[in-house]
């Protein structure tokens, strides 16, 4: 009688209650993340207001066409490619240095700047980034090791980087975006919730995509595995073998 009452009633087990609580929390995180994106887009769409007096904030470095390429007939063609793969770096001075530790001391070395590499799944078309057939002929497929994911990733990079040179010019601030205090307050509250490492893991795994843990990293292919050495189980001292027979056992094992 008691068992049938428990089975027919709507009493939930501990496992079911935990699962429902987890699903409800994930649903709440999904809603808050959707609200954060909506508010962030509202902040981004606030129109810029021109400054009465523009001011300089350091320097900017970018790629530009070489003088001889800019005077050639194909200047417009390479300029279109450059607009899609150009990169920008900002610095307080014209030297563009970075700190590096060498032999226990911090030294300043020049910062390296390269053209943008296109990920394999973004080539030749991804959203606003699109390359026609003629532009695709100037890209080569390369592989580069990613130390964070510990795998080799495929990229498409421009095969003639010598056509571009680096240029440096003052970085001028001409506009500013006014602040909406109510909007900033709501975004700060959402950031406090969503920046938690556990919540960030739920967003990465359930909403954005999949999580990349160390267990998910693909092992190197072709790596030789250590075989079981049965020589340890063989006590040679108890065997009545000659020196040549023992040497042959070592040769077969190793």
Model confidence over 122-139: pLDDT tens digits?
Answer: 888 877 788 999 999 999
For residue 122, what are the CA distances in angstroms to 66, 82, 86?
Answer: 27, 17, 16
Q: How many residues does the chain have?
A: 254
pLDDT score of 210:
61
pLDDT in tens, 83-106: 999 999 999 999 999 999 888 899
Is it the case that residue 4 has pLDDT exceeding 70? no
**Cα–Cα–Cα angle for 247, 249, 251, rounded to 5 degrees:** 70
E strand or H helix at 107: strand 105-110
Whether the CB-CB separation of 153 and 142 falls below 8 Å is answered with no
Token couple for 86: 């150009």
Q: Is the dihedral of CA 51, 53, 57, 62 positive or negative?
A: positive
223-253 pLDDT tens trace: 444 444 444 445 555 555 566 666 666 665 5
Joined together, the tokens standing for residue 96 give 């563009």
The reported pLDDT for the residue numbered 122 is 87
Q: Name the 3-class secondary structure at 167.
A: strand
Q: Give dist(CA 117, CA 87) in Å, integer.
A: 10
End-to-end CA, the chain: 70
What are the pLDDT digits (tens) for 178-221?
999 999 999 999 999 999 988 888 888 888 776 555 555 555 44
Query: How does pLDDT run across 39-88, given as a tens digit for each residue?
Result: 999 999 999 999 999 999 999 999 999 999 999 999 999 999 999 999 99
pTM over 0.85: no
- Asked if residue 50 lies in contact with residue 174, where contact means CB atoms within 8 angstroms, the answer is yes
Task: Quickly state the pLDDT bin for 222 (edges 50, 70, 90).
Answer: very low
* Cα–Cα dist 139/136, whole Å: 6
Bridge partners (DSSP) of residue 118 are: 156
pLDDT of residue 163 exceeding 70, the answer is yes
Is residue 156 within 8 Å of residue 117, measured between CB atoms?
Answer: yes
pLDDT (0 to 100) of residue 47: 95
């Amino acid at each position: 009688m008691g068992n049938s009452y428990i089975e027919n009633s709507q009493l939930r087990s501990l496992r079911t209650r935990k699962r429902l609580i987890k699903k409800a929390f994930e649903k709440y995180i999904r809603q808050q993340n959707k609200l954060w994106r909506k508010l962030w887009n509202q902040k981004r769409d606030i129109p810029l207001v021109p400054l009465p007096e523009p001011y300089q904030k350091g320097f900017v470095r970018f790629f530009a066409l070489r003088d001889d390429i800019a005077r050639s007939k194909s200047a417009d063609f390479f300029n279109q490619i450059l607009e899609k793969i150009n990169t920008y770096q900002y610095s307080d001075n014209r030297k563009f240095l970075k700190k590096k530790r060498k032999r226990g001391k911090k030294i300043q070395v020049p910062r390296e700047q390269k053209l943008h590499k296109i990920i394999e799944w973004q080539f030749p078309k991804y959203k606003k980034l699109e390359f026609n057939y003629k532009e695709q002929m100037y890209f080569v497929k390369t592989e580069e090791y990613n130390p964070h994911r510990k795998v080799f990733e495929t990229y498409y990079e421009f095969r003639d980087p010598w056509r571009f040179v680096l240029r440096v010019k003052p970085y001028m601030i001409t506009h500013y975006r006014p602040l909406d205090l109510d909007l900033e307050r709501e975004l700060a509250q959402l950031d406090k919730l969503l920046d938690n490492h556990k919540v960030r893991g739920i967003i990465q795994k359930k909403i954005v995509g999949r999580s990349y843990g160390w267990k998910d990293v693909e092992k190197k292919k072709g790596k030789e595995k250590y075989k079981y050495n049965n020589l340890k189980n063989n006590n040679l001292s108890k065997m009545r073998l000659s020196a040549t027979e023992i040497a042959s056992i070592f040769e077969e094992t190793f």
